[in-house]
Amino acid sequence: EFKWISLFLTAVLQFTAAAEKLPLSFTVRVGDEVTLPCKNLIASQQNCEYTTWVFTHSNNTAAVVPVLLGQIGEDALSKSDRLSVTETCSLFIKKVTVEDVGYYFCHQYISEEHGPDSLVYLSVVTMTERKDADEVTLNCSVSTYGECEHTVKWLYEGKDVDKDMKTSQSGCYATVSFLDSHFSSKSNLKCEVSDIFSGNVQLFTFSPQSSGEKTARTDRSALDYIMLVMRVAELLLITVITVLLIRARGARR
């Protein structure tokens, strides 16, 4: 009995540890802003002087250093006016562009010692509209680092689009086509983007240009829920094992 319980407990502990190491992942629309958090912060810094952010663009060219020891890198990028470091040493990016897609490492460095780096992925949603005669096609696409780990689809009034509209889905984008006369407003059409790493499901209302408008329905969903269940299971198991051990001892006595 003990053997099985302890095997199971080990598996549970390993799973929770692995899940906690998953990188952070953010998906925002072109033109929006985003705050990339830095985990494992060294506590004693005044102006994030132990903090360096390193960015690897999705085209995998050499990494750049947007933030060096708390300062926005001079040579970093043309985008340096869009960057700032928050009080908690997070990297704040405004007017996000497709060029910002990639991964970001937050290094914590103080003399010799430093905490583990934290990793954040940034993905960007772009929406376009095309018109062929009477037919309008909307395209919602997600730019990511590496393989697409997102799912993208169009919803009409919160449901799958109906038969009057053609949809197609492929890789990291989805399109929907309909007759121009069919709609006066496209605002009932939303692009649903699910980010597997973060577990977030976000809804983006169609707009060809960026807008501040956000309809993010954020489900800190599956993963968080599983983690909670696992934690509860851990606690229960530990209790059960303790009780069994105490009983076993009592019996022996």
| Pattern 132-151, ligand NAG, x by CB under 6 A | -------x-x----------
Collapsing DSSP to helix, strand or coil, 181 comes out as: helix
Angle at 20 (CA atoms; ends 5, 199), nearest 5 degrees: 110
- When binding is defined by CB under 6 A, the residue of 154, 173, 178, 204 that contacts ligand NAG is 173
Closest CA to 101 of 149, 41, 52, 153: 149
Smallest distance, ligand NAG to C-beta of residue 180, A: 17
- When binding is defined by CB under 6 A, the residue of 61, 184, 185, 209 that contacts ligand NAG is 61
User: Nearer to ligand NAG by C-beta: 24 or 101?
Assistant: 101
Asked if residue 101 lies in contact with residue 124, where contact means CB atoms within 8 angstroms, the answer is: yes
User: Nearer to ligand NAG by C-beta: 48 or 120?
Assistant: 120
Q: Does 194 contact ligand NAG by CB under 6 A?
A: no
User: Nearer to ligand NAG by C-beta: 108 or 126?
Assistant: 126
Site residues (CB under 6 A) for ligand NAG, limited to 99-128: 99
Q: Which stretch binds ligand NAG (CB under 6 A): 5-13, 53-61, 148-156, 230-238?
A: 53-61
Q: Find the radius of gyration of the CA atoms of the chain.
A: 24
The span from the CA of 216 to the CA of 213, in Å, is: 9
Return the DSSP state at 61.
Answer: -
Closest CA to 178 of 159, 160, 163: 163
| Residues within the interface to ligand NAG (CB under 6 A) | 57, 59, 61, 99, 139, 141, 173, 175
